[in-house]
């Protein structure tokens, strides 16, 4: 009887056809969301969903990082740069059926910035981007007035951040803390279902004010291992893998059922020096290290040629024509001379690195080892130490850390988003792990924050860049391309900053 | 017997207290803190400090532990720091059934496969059947699960679903949380088959090591029993050869095997962490992995406590099982 049952089961299983994805677009990524409340969003996996369910007032064009109105139709900045009036789109409703209006905008920003707000989110990681906001008020049903504490050239860009996405006040009041599980925005997709760690189902929002998405349903699934995700993609179980490894890019391009899409880099990977510690505080040492780094080799060995050698901490797509940034010189012989002159020949140094993958260091161990090899060629003895995420974040803020591998992905496509957090004295010991605190650099970056004349802002950034290049508190290594693996049934062009499910199409 | 069971059950809280203490200390001595995962790598130290204070993470460790223990005593496993919504208890309630489902399936494969391999090896000692079975067993104990999992995906991924416990386009409302059972209860034949297919690869991957261990112990134990006098007597009496093996020999050979299977259950729970990671199985394993990645102290604590209790209870059940298998075993006597 048992054997018979087993044989029957085996026969049934043997006849099983491989599972094929149906009409929904199935999107595989590295991990599940932790929240769907835009105010609580801190990392990319959460943002991927909220960017499709919610909308900010201002966003980017589909093909570039140029700003365009989303829920805003127009904005005017006062002559002194201290306030901004925003006109809102008419005929927009939230997924819960309530209307979008000036009150909703006021509610969203007050909730984000007011620590005593009754519907304050559990945490608000990006609230500090709005610390220069003094007041937001409705000056009409479809018009809001933002009043700032200081004139800001980046405030408009800040409105694109995920934290600034407009939420339905009624839904927030109704669900309280559980709004994070029951999101209600104005975006092209609404949440249909969230099975934690299994899938998120997004359905097209029929009441959407703009062009309706071509795909009616998107199912977002966490697939921890990129290898597993790629096997599923080749087989057709999923249509998109947004976390392929760099090594996968070429095979996937050549595979019959899959293709790749690449997007300009919005990130930087750099080598940092703790300026409070010897020998890293010695300018000759930093110059020698800079001369020893062969970025082309690094790109080939550790980035599969999918990065571009960096000549600035700010990626070219954001720096644009601000100032020429000549390539860093590679000259190991000169590096050795410098080390000898500084009395540091054969010196023992330490390089710490993260052990977790990041867009700018998909394989951190490989990057660290390549740098170690290059530095050993100029006679240095390099010890590598790896740390996991929680430990590394704290380690690079300590005053005792040595040389470190670090990187940054843009939240906003403006130079300030790189220069201020990573290098300004205000952030020394925070994100500025080198403790770089140069008066001229600080003044130029600070002045550029409120400079609304593009020409003057460019010259301030040029000055800051020159100080950075002269002092070498960090050495930019590469800017890494963004990549995504797709089924040939899918048409999707990556956006430089956001994941936009609503532009994807899926062929039968 | 009752006194023995009661005594063992009373020990459970002590074991759990020790587990809670060990997990608490381990989580706190590991560098890093939860505010990094909550606020992100880009957050400022001042913001993190404020959050640490709000969360009570700035209090001395004994005070933090006392608060944690106080909540545990009230049956409160706490809340995740980063993940919104559910409490740790609600999350565990959702994750435990898939892990038990996977573990039981792996256990069934390991015990049936291991017994079969072991018996064949013992009966056909020193023949090619024996060599082949034991080579399989040796390979089984030597292969790391995550590697085997990837190999299985490469080899069988074309025919079987890769990862998860049910196709993502199937919607099944959980009743018991056991997907196969829920599909059967809902009368959804296609989902039932899909769930079964999803279970195959992870269950085989997880079963490999215990299967190999069971096979080796079964072989050794059977060989010992098959050489004893009463087997010769049974054969002399003209009992059918396979009847001698299954009725006379196997029953006596089972004692060490049952012990091993009990221990294997603990291994399977541990192994499920790795297997679930490779196959994105939505159980306790992936839960623990994500909790560790996000420094979710209370989630890790809760999950480990629940798994430890399961382990202790299963071990007790195995001990009690001896009495049924071997009438000589008695509990609770001086």
State the smallest CA–CA distance between residue A32 and chain B in angstroms: 9
Looking at residue A96, what is its pLDDT? 97
Structural domains in chain B (count)? 2
Where a domain ends, among B73, B103, B136?
B73
For residues A332 and A377, the answer to whether their CB atoms sit within 8 Å is yes
| Pairing of β A217-222 and β A25-29 | parallel
Give the residue among A496, A482, A484, A491 at the shortest CA–CA distance from A25: A491
The answer, yes or no, to whether the previous bond of A162 is cis (omega within 30 of 0) is no
pLDDT tens string B236-283:
888 888 888 887 888 888 888 887 887 788 778 878 888 998 899 999
Query: Does B295 map to a domain?
Result: yes
Residues B36 and B168 in one domain: no
Cβ contact, residue pair B34, A390, below 8 Å? yes
For residues A112 and A58, the answer to whether their CB atoms sit within 8 Å is no
Query: Does B139 map to a domain?
Result: yes
For chain A, what percent of residues have pLDDT higher than 90?
81
Sign of CA dihedral A177, A180, A182, A183: positive
Residues B108 and B210 in one domain: yes
Radius of gyration of chain A (CA): 25
Separation of alpha carbons A432 and A445, rounded Å: 14
pLDDT band at A221 (very low <50, low <70, confident <90, very high): very high
Q: Residue B12: which domain range?
A: 2-73
* Facing residue for B36 by CB, picked from A35, A390, A429: A390
Query: Does B81 map to a domain?
Result: no
* Facing residue for B45 by CB, picked from A13, A42, A430: A430
Residue of A nearest to B47 (CA): A125
Give the residue among B323, B313, B333 at the shortest CA–CA distance from B4: B333
User: Would you state the structure tokens that stand for residue A475, as one six-digit string?
Assistant: 């050495």
Q: How many alpha carbons fall within 13 Å on the CB side of residue A70? A: 27
A308, containing H or E segment? strand A307-309
* Facing residue for B168 by CB, picked from A9, A180, A221: A221
What CATH number should be reported for the domain whose range is A55-174? Answer: 3.90.76.10
A435: which chain B residues are within 8 Å (Cβ-Cβ)? none
Strand partners for A478: A269, A309
* Facing residue for B85 by CB, picked from A13, A178, A219: A178
Residues B133 and B185 in one domain: yes
- Does the domain at A3-32+196-263+483-506 match CATH 3.40.190.10? Answer given as yes
Phi, psi torsion values for B69, nearest 5 degrees: -65, -40
Q: What is the 3-state secondary structure (H, E, C) of A34-59?
A: CCCCHHHCCCHHHHHHHHHHCCCCEE
**What number is the average pLDDT over the span B127-149?**
85
A410: which chain B residues are within 8 Å (Cβ-Cβ)? none
Residues B280 and B142 in one domain: yes
**What number is the average pLDDT over the span A364-390?**
94
Would you tell me which residues 5-34 of chain A have a C-beta closer than 8 angstroms to some C-beta of chain B?
9, 12-13, 16, 18-19, 21-22, 24, 26, 31-32, 34
Give yes or no for residue A54 having a pLDDT over 70: yes
- Mean pLDDT over each residue of chain A, to the nearest integer: 92
Query: Does B313 map to a domain?
Result: yes
pLDDT tens string A316-373:
999 998 889 999 999 999 999 999 999 999 899 999 999 988 889 999 999 999 999 9
Residue of A nearest to B84 (CA): A35
**What number is the average pLDDT over the span B149-158?**
90
Higher pLDDT, A9 or A64: A64
Residues B37 and B105 in one domain: no
pLDDT tens string B178-221:
999 999 999 999 999 999 999 999 999 999 989 998 998 999 99
Instruction: Residue B49: count other Cβ atoms within 10 Å of its Cβ.
Output: 13
Alpha-carbon distance values, A494 to A244, A262, A499 (Å): 14, 7, 7
Chain A interface disruption, residue of B84, B179, B275, B281, most A CBs within 10 A: B84
Residues B251 and B135 in one domain: yes
User: Would you state the structure tokens that stand for residue A321, as one six-digit string?
Assistant: 């024509």
Residue of B nearest to A193 (CA): B171
Query: Does B164 map to a domain?
Result: yes
A323, A327, A329, A330: CA torsion to nearest 10: 160
Residues B146 and B234 in one domain: yes
Residues B247 and B181 in one domain: yes
**What number is the average pLDDT over the span A62-68?**
89
Please report, for chain A, the start and end positions of each structural domain, with discontinuous segments joined by +.
Answer: 3-32+196-263+483-506, 55-174, 267-480
Separation of alpha carbons B55 and B298, rounded Å: 12
Looking at residue B12, what is its pLDDT? 81
Residues B61 and B121 in one domain: no
For residues A168 and A101, the answer to whether their CB atoms sit within 8 Å is no
Instruction: Residue B327: count other Cβ atoms within 10 Å of its Cβ.
Output: 8
Give yes or no for residue A464 having a pLDDT over 70: yes
Looking at residue B5, what is its pLDDT? 78
Give yes or no for residue A1 having a pLDDT over 50: no
For residues A272 and A427, the answer to whether their CB atoms sit within 8 Å is no
For residues A20 and A236, the answer to whether their CB atoms sit within 8 Å is yes
Non-local (6+) Cβ contacts of A319 within 8 A are A312, A325, A415, A461
Where a domain ends, among B46, B73, B100?
B73
**What number is the average pLDDT over the span A104-115?**
96
Alpha-carbon distance values, A317 to A91, A380, A480, A500, A502 (Å): 35, 35, 12, 20, 24
Non-local (6+) Cβ contacts of B297 within 8 A are B24, B27, B28, B34, B81
Separation of alpha carbons B201 and B149, rounded Å: 8
Looking at residue A149, what is its pLDDT? 95
What CATH number should be reported for the domain whose range is A267-480? Answer: 3.10.105.10
| Residue found under tokens 């930087």 | A268
**What number is the average pLDDT over the span A425-449?**
95
* Facing residue for B32 by CB, picked from A225, A228, A388: A388
Looking at residue A358, what is its pLDDT? 87
Residues B61 and B173 in one domain: no
pLDDT-wise least confident of A92-106, A251-265, B12-26? B12-26
Residues B68 and B107 in one domain: no
Sign of CA dihedral A436, A438, A441, A442: positive
pLDDT tens string A465-481:
999 999 999 999 999 99
Residues B46 and B151 in one domain: no
pLDDT band at A4 (very low <50, low <70, confident <90, very high): very low
User: Would you state the structure tokens that stand for residue A281, as one six-digit string?
Assistant: 């505080």
Separation of alpha carbons A309 and A265, rounded Å: 11
pLDDT tens string A271-319:
999 999 999 999 999 999 999 999 999 999 999 999 999 999 999 999 9
For residues A118 and A103, the answer to whether their CB atoms sit within 8 Å is no
pLDDT band at B34 (very low <50, low <70, confident <90, very high): confident
Q: What is the ipTM of this complex?
A: 0.85
Strand, helix or coil for residue A135? strand
Q: Does A181 touch chain B (CB under 8 A)?
A: yes
**Terminal Cα-to-Cα distance of chain A (whole angstroms):** 44
State the smallest CA–CA distance between residue A180 and chain B in angstroms: 6
Radius of gyration of chain B (CA): 24
Q: What is the 3-state secondary structure (H, E, C) of A359-399?
A: CCECCHHHHHHHHHHHHHCCCCEEEEEEECHHHHHHHCCCC
pLDDT band at A189 (very low <50, low <70, confident <90, very high): very high
Q: CA B157: distance to chain centroid?
A: 24
Cβ contact, residue pair B196, A9, below 8 Å? yes
Residue of A nearest to B155 (CA): A231
Looking at residue B42, what is its pLDDT? 78
Give the DSSP letter string of B267-323.
HHHHHHHHHHHHHT-TTHHHHHHHHHHTT-HHHHHHHHHHHHHHHHHHHHHHHHHHH
* Facing residue for A232 by CB, picked from B91, B163, B287: B163
pLDDT tens string B35-91:
888 888 778 888 888 888 988 888 999 999 999 999 988 989 988 888 888 899 999
Separation of alpha carbons A216 and A304, rounded Å: 36
Give the residue among B232, B222, B205 at the shortest CA–CA distance from B115: B222
Looking at residue B331, what is its pLDDT? 63
pLDDT-wise least confident of A178-182, A367-371, A444-448, B56-60? B56-60
CATH number of the CATH domain containing B213: 1.10.3720.10
């Amino acid at each position: 009887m048992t054997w018979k049952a087993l044989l029957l089961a085996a026969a049934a299983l043997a006849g099983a056809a491989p599972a094929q994805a149906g009409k929904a677009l199935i999107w595989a990524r590295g991990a599940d969301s932790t929240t769907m409340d835009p105010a609580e969003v801190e990392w990319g996996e959460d943002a991927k969903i909220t960017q499709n369910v919610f909308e900010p007032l201002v966003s980017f064009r589909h093909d570039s990082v140029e700003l365009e109105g989303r829920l805003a139709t127009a904005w005017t900045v006062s002559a002194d740069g201290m306030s901004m009036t925003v006109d809102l789109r008419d005929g927009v409703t939230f997924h819960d059926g309530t209307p979008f209006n000036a009150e909703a905008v006021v509610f969203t920003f007050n909730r984000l910035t007011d620590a005593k707000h009754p519907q304050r989110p559990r945490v608000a990681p990006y609230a500090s981007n709005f610390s220069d906001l003094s007041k937001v008020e409705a000056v009409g049903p479809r018009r809001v007035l933002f009043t700032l504490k200081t004139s800001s050239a980046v405030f408009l860009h800040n409105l694109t951040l995920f934290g600034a996405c407009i939420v339905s006040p009624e839904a927030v009041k109704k669900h309280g803390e559980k709004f994070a599980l029951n999101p209600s925005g104005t975006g092209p997709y609404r949440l249909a279902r969230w099975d934690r760690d299994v899938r998120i189902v997004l359905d097209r929002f029929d009441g959407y004010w703009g062009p309706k998405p071509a795909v009616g349903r998107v199912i977002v699934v966490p697939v921890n291992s990129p290898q597993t995700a790629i096997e599923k993609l080749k087989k057709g179980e999923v249509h998109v893998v947004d976390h392929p490894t760099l090594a996968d890019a070429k095979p996937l391009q050549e595979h019959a059922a899959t293709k790749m899409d690449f997007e300009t880099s919005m990130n930087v990977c750099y080598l940092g020096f703790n300026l409070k510690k010897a020998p890293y505080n010695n300018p000759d040492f930093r110059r020698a290290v800079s001369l020893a780094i062969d970025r082309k080799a690094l790109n080939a060995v550790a980035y599969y040629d999918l990065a571009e050698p960096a000549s600035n901490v700010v990626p070219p797509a954001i720096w644009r024509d601000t100032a020429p940034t000549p390539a860093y010189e590679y000259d190991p012989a000169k590096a050795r001379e410098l080390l000898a002159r500084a009395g540091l020949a054969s010196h023992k140094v330490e390089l710490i690195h993260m052990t977790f993958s990041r867009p700018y260091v998909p394989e951190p161990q490989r990057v660290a080892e390549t740098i170690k090899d290059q530095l050993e060629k100029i006679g240095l003895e390099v010890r590598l130490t790896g740390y996991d995420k929680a430990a590394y974040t704290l380690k690079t803020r300590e005053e005792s850390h040595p040389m470190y591998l670090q990187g940054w992905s843009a939240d906003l496509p403006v130079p300030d988003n790189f220069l201020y957090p990573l290098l300004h004295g205000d952030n020394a010991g925070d994100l500025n792990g080198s403790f770089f605190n140069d008066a001229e650099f600080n003044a130029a970056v600070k002045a550029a924050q409120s400079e609304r004349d593009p020409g003057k802002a460019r010259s301030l950034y040029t000055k800051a860049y020159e100080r950075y290049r002269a002092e070498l508190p960090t050495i930019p290594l590469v800017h890494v391309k963004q990549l995504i693996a797709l089924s040939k049934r899918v048409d999707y062009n990556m956006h430089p900053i956001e994941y936009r499910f609503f532009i994807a199409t899926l062929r039968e | 017997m009752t006194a023995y069971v009661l005594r063992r059950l009373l020990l459970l809280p002590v074991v759990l207290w020790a587990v809670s203490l060990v997990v608490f200390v381990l989580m706190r001595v590991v560098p890093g803190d939860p505010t990094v995962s909550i606020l992100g790598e880009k957050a400022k130290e001042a913001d993190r400090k404020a959050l640490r204070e709000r969360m009570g993470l700035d209090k001395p460790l004994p005070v933090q532990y006392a608060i944690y223990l106080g909540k545990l005593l009230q049956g409160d496993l706490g809340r995740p720091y980063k993940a919104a919504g559910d409490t740790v208890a609600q999350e565990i309630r959702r994750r435990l059934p898939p892990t038990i489902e996977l573990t039981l399936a792996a256990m069934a494969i390991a015990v049936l496969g291991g017994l079969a391999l072991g018996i064949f090896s013992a009966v056909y000692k020193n023949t090619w059947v024996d060599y082949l079975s034991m080579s399989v067993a040796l390979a089984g104990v030597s292969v790391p699960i995550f590697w085997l999992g990837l190999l299985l995906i490469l080899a069988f991924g074309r025919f079987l679903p890769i990862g998860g416990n049910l196709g993502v386009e199937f919607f099944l409302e959980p009743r018991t949380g056991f997907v196969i059972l829920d599909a059967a209860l809902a009368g959804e034949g296609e989902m039932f088959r899909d769930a079964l297919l999803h279970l195959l690869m992870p269950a085989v991957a997880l079963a490999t090591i215990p299967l190999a261990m069971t096979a080796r112990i079964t072989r050794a134990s059977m060989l010992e029993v098959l050489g004893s006098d009463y087997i010769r007597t049974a054969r002399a009496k003209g009992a059918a050869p396979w009847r001698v093996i299954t009725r006379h020999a196997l029953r006596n050979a089972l004692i060490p095997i049952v012990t091993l299977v009990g221990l294997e259950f603990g291994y399977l729970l541990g192994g499920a962490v790795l297997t679930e990671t490779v196959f994105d199985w939505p159980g306790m394993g992936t839960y623990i992995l994500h909790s560790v990645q996000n420094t979710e102290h209370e989630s890790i604590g809760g999950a480990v406590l629940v798994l430890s209790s399961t382990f202790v209870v299963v071990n007790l059940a195995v001990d009690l099982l001896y009495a049924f298998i071997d009438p000589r075993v008695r509990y609770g006597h001086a």
